Amino acid sequence: MRQCLDSGKHAAEIRRDIEDGLKAGLRSTPTFSLGSTDAGDASIKVLRMLVGAQPYARFKDAIESILASPK
């Protein structure tokens, strides 16, 4: 593992991933984005975000609220 870090082999890819996360509004890990897609569209419409380690009940509530909301 140390060799991988020291080599910098994946540094550019990691920087791109960090930049993509920041552009998407992510500021910490873990962050979970819950959302939906439209048929034929690969983009995801984020409806809820859960930041940090969360109990099952928070995920359940978030998912149920998305499913219950009008489309």
The end-to-end CA distance of the chain, in Å, is 46
pLDDT computed for residue 51 by the predictor: 93
Residue 59: give the domain boundaries: 2-68
- Per-residue pLDDT band for 8 (boundaries 50, 70, 90) equals confident
- Per-residue exposure over 12-35, b if at least 16 CB sit within 10 Å of its own CB, e if not: eeeeeeeeeeeeeebeeeeebeee
- What span, in angstroms and rounded, lies between the C-alpha atoms of 54 and 4? 31
- Total domains, the chain: 1
Q: pTM of the entire structure?
A: 0.67
